[in-house]
Chain A
Amino acid sequence: MTTTALWATVLAASLACFALKLGGHLIPRSWLASERVSRVTTLVTVALLVSLVVVQGFADGRTLTVDARVPALAVAALALALRAPFILVVVLAAATAAGLRAAGWG
């Protein structure tokens, strides 16, 4: 991506994200009272985040791989099941992947 395209992408996406935030502050509450609208929004958030876990945890370009990120995600899931705070979950995952790579795997 050229520098110009990169800046255009950054600014367009930022503008869109701000418009979405401001839109929420400006629309009448009654519009969102619909059970269906809030259900779709909730499910889309879940799907996006889960999909990002897969992409960030298993994709290497267009290839699916199993490397140090996978045990790190397992450690993160265990920490979440044990109700660890957000920052600890992230640190444990990073430490697991870093440790495995330092040991020469993944």
Chain B
Amino acid sequence: MNVLPRNPAARAAVRQGVSVSVATGLYGVSFGALSVAAGVGLGPTMALSLLMFSGGSQFALIGVIGAAGTPVAAIATATLLGLRNTLYGAVVSPLLQVRGWRRIAAAQVTIDESTAVAVAQPEPAASRIGFWVTGIGVYVLWNAFVLLGALAGDALGDPRAWGLDAAAAAAFLALVWPRLAPRRAQLVAGLAVAATAVLIPFVPPGIPVLAAAAVAIVVGLVAPAVPDDAPASPHAAAADQPENETDRESVR
């Protein structure tokens, strides 16, 4: 059975999309388990995964809730983390050329992975198929594995014993790693670490992350444009990367 398209570029996009979907989808187990452990029940956990569908925002929201943060802090943190999806939407929209309900579907599956695969393709047809295979693939597998993790969460016991809290920290590290090349990004990362560490003991959970974002906004607005610090648009970032690097980009 060969369901791959004939066009070689499109075939490559499909293969890339499937591998990214599997790698990302598996990770949903830890979200499901952590979410239930944070006191978010099965229903809200699945609602988050199906409706919010943006890993960084999902982890941030349950992190704030688990740390007894306020609803406002939880919503604000998750929303700020989802802001980059706006940029992604603007980037992939011209590639997709869709209207009506397809545009709604495209918006919902506009995430790090689908954008990275789409913009890494050499031609528009491959970009389109790469976007949809990755977006739908991650959506289906991520939600399936979140459900599995949420259901197995009780059976697994304390997720800390399985190192799932460390896994979440490592996932954020892996997500930010490829973005740390420009010097200005390193500067902002250093300031963000300092702001977060200083504030954690003094303010409610969720606020340190917002403060770090505010620092980045200030730096971004006041810093002069420099040639060596070209904005890492998904196009620029993904275009230079070989296939296996896309997995590493797979951070939502």
CA A95 to CA B126, docked complex, whole Å? 37
CA A55 to CA B160, docked complex, whole Å? 15
Residues of chain B from 135 to 186 with CB closer than 8 A to chain A in the complex: 160-177, 179-180, 184-185
Residues from chain A with a CB closer than 8 A to the CB of B247 are 85-87
Residues from chain B with a CB closer than 8 A to the CB of A8 are 71
| Of B44, B84, B108, the contact of A6 (CB 8 Å cutoff) | B44
Residues from chain B with a CB closer than 8 A to the CB of A35 are 225, 231
Q: A93 near B167 (CB under 8 angstroms)? A: yes
Chain B contact residues, majority secondary structure: helix
A-B pairs with beta carbons under 8 A, tally? 336
Chain A 1-37 near chain B by CB (<8 Å), digits 1 or 0:
1010111111111111110111111110101100110
Most central of B60, B205, B229 by chain A CB within 10 Å: B60
Residues of chain B from 109 to 132 with CB closer than 8 A to chain A in the complex: 110
Q: A73 near B107 (CB under 8 angstroms)? A: no
User: Size class of A's contact patch?
Assistant: 35 or more
B residues adjacent to A (C-beta < 8 A)? 23-24, 26-27, 30, 39-41, 43-44, 47-48, 51-54, 56-57, 59-61, 63, 65, 67-68, 71, 74-75, 78-94, 103-104, 106-108, 110, 160-177, 179-180, 184-185, 188-189, 191-193, 195-197, 200-202, 205, 208-209, 211-213, 215-217, 219-221, 223, 225, 229, 231-233, 244-245, 247-251
What would be 26 A-B contacts, judged by CB atoms less than 8 Å apart?
A: A1-B65, A5-B71, A10-B61, A21-B88, A22-B104, A25-B110, A29-B94, A46-B179, A46-B216, A47-B215, A48-B60, A49-B56, A49-B172, A49-B175, A49-B251, A54-B200, A55-B205, A56-B169, A57-B173, A69-B166, A72-B169, A77-B173, A80-B248, A87-B27, A93-B170, A94-B30
